[in-house]
Amino acid sequence: MLKLLAYALLCSQVLASPVSPRWSSDQCQSSPLRSLAQANIQSVHPENEMKWEVIEPQRGVFNWTEVTWQVPALAEPRFPRSQPLQVIAKAKEVGGIVRGHNFCWDQQTPTYVTNITDPDELKTVLKEHIDAVLGRYKNDLYAMDIINEPLNDNGTIKASVWYDVLGEDYLAVCLQYARDAAPNLKLYINDYNIEAVNNKSIALASIVSGLKDQGVPIDGVGFESHFVGGEVPTTLQASMKQFTDMGLDVAITELDVRVPVNNSGLPTLPGYRFKPMIMRRLSKPVLTTVIAQEKPALGSISSTLASGFNCGNGDRK
């Protein structure tokens, strides 16, 4: 069954802790968000804290204490910045599991990595990083987005230090290093705009098929699932089937649904009732309000996922 992530449950695009960025750490100890999280969250996903620039800002210098949830600065000073909360510890506190994120990406990679032009040196730095991170956390993670957002929307591989120096082989290299470092970890490639059968999802399916043919370890594909209300792709199930037919898992990793609003900032879809202030904040694509009340969509999504989602191979993922 697809896991309903903290990303979809709380008032932020932060996959890290059973709290909302609109509450301080002290407030969250007794806030309704805590019981809401305990009742609904199954999987916890750090948004930034395991990304390379955060966890190893200098070569060989690791910032382990930052595997935490940290609220980004908000425009409104009345919403205080939360204190760091350890992701793994908080996940265990609510009986959840942790999904890691990520190693190879075209963003948030420090310059000591992006300035490398020698393939052997880049592989060495990559292996050192993966060995260190998974050596510490492999027993705390059930899965990890090993490679994040590798493709352009037209299906070509994005320019990055990984592709520019190592070519397409970087995908296999990174996945193999991860398998060697953590044999029991589920290894994923994660991307957006693959929720429909389109150039990007077809290209990713072809790449993944090639990797499997080569014996490269890969266990699943992450569908980020950034949707607009009323515009969810009609071929979502068929797109997932491209991967489940290969024996892979699929996961909805960063689910949000943006709600269309009118010129007054009010939602144009039924079932959504927010204060205009909330709507002015870009129509928050999440399932609880600022005062931790469930939106109608939360129950619908939870019940749908609880009953299973058949991707076409007879199994519920």
Pairing of strands 85-86, 68-69: antiparallel
Pairing of strands 97-104, 85-86: unpaired
Q: Is residue 316 part of a domain?
A: no
Q: How confident is the model at residue 74 (pLDDT cuts 50, 70, 90)?
A: very low
What is residue 78's predicted lDDT score, i.e. its pLDDT?
30
- The more confident residue out of 219 and 303 is 219
CB 110 within 8 A of CB 58: yes
Q: Is residue 313 part of a domain?
A: no
CA 289 – CA 14 distance, rounded (Å): 15
> Domain with 67 in it: what CATH number?
3.20.20.80
- The more confident residue out of 300 and 207 is 207
What is residue 257's predicted lDDT score, i.e. its pLDDT?
78
Q: Is residue 195 part of a domain?
A: yes
Q: Is residue 108 part of a domain?
A: yes
Beta-strand ranges (E) seen in 108-215 are 143-148, 186-191
How far is CA 188 from each of CA 21, 78, 81, 141, 150, rounded to the nearest angstrom?
27, 39, 32, 12, 12
Give the active site residues: 254
Mean pLDDT of the chain: 75
- Per-residue pLDDT at 165 exceeds 70: yes
CA 224 – CA 243 distance, rounded (Å): 15
pLDDT tens, position by position, 105-128:
999 999 999 999 999 999 999 999
Q: How many CB atoms lie within 10 A of CB 99?
A: 27
Range of 256's domain? 6-25+35-306
CA 254 – CA 6 distance, rounded (Å): 9
Single out the residue of 77, 57, 78 nearest to residue 66, CA to CA.
57
What is residue 283's predicted lDDT score, i.e. its pLDDT?
42
Domain count, the chain: 1
Q: Is residue 315 part of a domain?
A: no
Q: Is residue 1 part of a domain?
A: no
- Per-residue pLDDT at 160 exceeds 90: yes
Q: Is residue 225 part of a domain?
A: yes
pLDDT tens, position by position, 220-265:
999 999 888 778 899 999 999 999 999 999 998 888 777 777 777 6
CA 286 – CA 25 distance, rounded (Å): 20
The two structure tokens encoding residue 128: 């050192």
pLDDT tens, position by position, 45-68:
787 888 999 899 999 999 887 554
Q: Is residue 78 part of a domain?
A: yes
